[in-house]
Structure 1
Amino acid sequence: MIGSARALALLGTGGVLIFIGVVCVLSGAQPGYDPIQQFMSELALGPWGGFMIVAFVGLAVLVAASAAHLRASGTPKLLTHTLALAAICLVGAGAITLGDSVSVHVALVALAFALCGLAMYLLPRLARTHGRPMDHLISWGAGLVMCAATALGGLLIPVGIAQRLSAGALMFWLLWVVWRRHG
């Protein structure tokens, strides 16, 4: 079990590194792209935008690895299936870009983040392995940062920065979940 937990942690870390790497490379390669004022999904509209599916799949791998890690530790299916559905939504958002359908892409990303936010809230309540006060602080704190950044994007924070803060909080939480040792 310890070997499989480590493999899931490494898989999840690889997924997040792929996501960050693709977004960073495309941000620099797309002419006129402003990461402060533009959404990451807009990178799919540039000359190398087809690589954004790799970024979305990388993030989906992190979400799925976190779900598998939690399931292996005995976490209730409600929570792990919530994360599994979020991973599927992220793959769908990578396959259906803003250029294909703005409404479907945005809905899939929003649903993925909402499902992950729900998982952030539920984890300390449902998982016997995540019931300590520090677990509440990390899970709910990351969820609060994710939600606040999303809510303030375009109001008090430029949308590109807000989206990156939200995604950063989510990735931090997912990495914490997948690397956390149980029992």
Structure 2
Amino acid sequence: MLATAILSSPAVADDTARQMEVSRYGAEVMPFSLAATTHIFAKTADGGIQQVVTKHHDPKQVALIRGHLAGVAREFSAGDFEAPEQIHGNDMPGLAALRTAKPGELKIHYRDLPDGGEIVYRTQESRLIAALHEWFDAQLSDHGHDAMAGHDSSTMHHHQKGTSTAE
């Protein structure tokens, strides 16, 4: 009975409807399969790390992930946050503050991972760190079971190899 009560609660229904809406918009913006990938959002002391990896070592999905994330990193570096707005809405937590970043305040770097790719966000500005963390929380909520919280970057980078863009 408890499970029924939880599943029928308005908050869960609202979350589920929101996640279905995000999934539909995400399919329009992201070229890879949401069902075949996992989004990982790890908050760090100076920003965060966003990863997308395949669930089943699918080379086609890996190529699609890498192309998409490399493009997103370029767009974000130029102050263009249109892609997440298309998926999550322009009132997504953290985005308004991220748009205020002045050149050089927010460093964004893409690199390949064995089963996908990652974008590393770094800043010394406390308002931007808070915005990134809010944005990551919203992503975790919106992507539901296709997303998970990650761990601090100091533990993630030691056992993954890939190419890195220059700073």
Q: Which has the higher contact order (CA 8 A, sep 6+)?
A: 2
Q: TM-score range by the shorter chain?
A: 0.3 to 0.5
The structure with the largest helix share of the pair is 1
- TM-score w.r.t. structure 2 length? 0.33
Q: In proportion to residue count, which structure has more strand?
A: 2
What's the TM-score, normalizing by structure 1? 0.31
